[in-house]
A and B are shown apart, each in its own frame.
Chain A
Amino acid sequence: MITTIRFRAMGCQVEIKLETPAGGETILSQMPARFDALEDRLSRFRPHSELMRLNARAGEWVRVSDVLFDNLRQAKHMARLTEGLFNPLVLPALVAHGYDRSFEQMTSVAGSASQPVTDWHSIELDRDTNRVRIPAGSAIDLGGIAKGWSAQHIAHELAEEGPCLVNIGGDIAVCGAPEGLPAWEIEIADPDGDGSLVTLWLRDSTIVTSGIDYRRWTTSDHRPRHHIIHPFSGEPAETDVRTVTIIHPHAPTAEAYAKAVLLKGSEAGLQWLNTRWHAAGLVVRQDGAVLATTHLMSYFQERIPS
């Protein structure tokens, strides 16, 4: 029996599916509280979250929880893997462009000049004592890393009960497969409408989608803005990519690769992706074209002969 729960958390729709012989409803009914606790650690939209308390003490060594420390460690590693195209210190630039509150609360915002993004190398982590120091004047936004980390963390916990799927606003982690099926079915949404582009089979892996088709706004000077900031310029990215979907066994890595492909552009990004271990990707371009890495084909749903 598959039990499904849907609720809002982390600024987006959360969907969790768990297959158990019995008791699935009891297990899943605890999930909203679990996500609430994670947001208290990781959200930049909660002024008193542990992350925002760390940001308020930029320049000092701060002892943090295991959850936040692991997310910061992953974020710095992702910056290394993408040669700085993913940079968790992008928050001041995001705020400068008006993304200073949860997107659900945004209306018209004042925009200001671009702000340089601090070098990610300057994030200092002391694993022995769980202490962190970020440069004075900087601030961290874990962004999709926190969502990916949470999806995979919760999925691994639930996997002890049975096959499961955790979907946080499109960041999906799956463990095992439903009884009678080879894997979970994942649709990649068509950014042009309510339909889907393609259906994939996914098992014991993660899939994330990022893009500039959503979370767009216009500043008071009528300049269009979106939430993907290029760390090298501090400006909203200029790219031919509308949405990018990445499959990778590790959700934070998939998130970071999605940002990197988006910033590199469709063809250069996908060719770069092919040099990464275990990664597959699909891009929907601004002109409507859909490109994919050859490796992605192995995840396509087989057409069943009629």
Chain B
Amino acid sequence: MANGDRTRKLLVRSALVTSSTIATLIGAQNLALLDTRQNEPILTPTTEPTAAPPPESTPEAEAVVPAAPTLEIIHAAPSVTILRRAGQTGAIQPVSVRPASIQPPNPVQLAAPAPVIVQGEAPPPVIIQQSSGSSSGGGSSSSSRSRTQSSR
């Protein structure tokens, strides 16, 4: 009788251990599948660009923005833009990438001719007075305009 009880208890415990083990395995498998499905949308886009060709690094790269008949803005490297090709001359007319607009300048109002101050033998400094603002045409004599070039 005692042996029969012990055997029955052993069977019950074995069944419990076996069933809990199987349940653990099934649960773990389901969790793993769930994780895989959740990660799919995230992983997909990050893997695609690595397979895509890298950005062009030569002037022959594709034109991005045609800004004028003689001008193409080309990405030569990830952070470098070609505004004028080799062999071309003249001013460039780049398209600004800044979305904000700038107010048109005010018209020029020229003041009376300014006096010239003579100082010794050196070429005299010239003082000119003009109202602020410039014409929309942007004449080079505008009071609010200057020019940068190699020192001269």
Contacts and interface: CB of A to CB of B under 8 A. Distances in A.
B148 A4 contact: no
Given A271-B80, A289-B84, A170 B147 contact: yes
Contacts of A13: 152
B102 A214 contact: no
B91 A195 contact: yes
B127 A170 contact: no
A211 interface: yes
A271 B146 contact: no
A24 B140 CA distance: 21
Interface residues of B, number: 63
Interface stretch (A54-62, A113-121, A174-182): A174-182
Contact of B148 (A171, A181, A214, A297): A171
A176 B53 CA distance: 45
A291 B80 contact: yes
B62 to A, nearest CB: 16
A8 B80 CA distance: 36
A24 B115 CA distance: 13
B149 interface: yes
Task: Name the prevailing secondary structure of the B interface residues.
Answer: loop
A237 interface: no
Interface string B15-46: 00000000000000000000000000000000
Interface of A: 1-8, 11-13, 15, 17, 19, 24-25, 28-29, 31-32, 144, 147, 165, 167, 169-172, 178-182, 184-193, 195-199, 201, 207-215, 243, 245, 267, 270-271, 274, 282, 285, 287-298, 300-304
Interface of B: 57, 59, 76-98, 101-106, 111, 114-115, 117, 119, 122-134, 136, 138, 140, 142-152
18 contacts: A5-B128, A6-B125, A17-B143, A25-B127, A147-B151, A170-B147, A178-B143, A180-B132, A185-B145, A189-B148, A192-B89, A215-B151, A285-B86, A289-B59, A289-B85, A291-B81, A296-B81, A297-B98
Q: What 8 A-B pairs have minimum CB-CB distances, sorted nearest first?
A: A7-B125, A189-B149, A178-B132, A169-B151, A287-B86, A290-B84, A274-B79, A2-B143
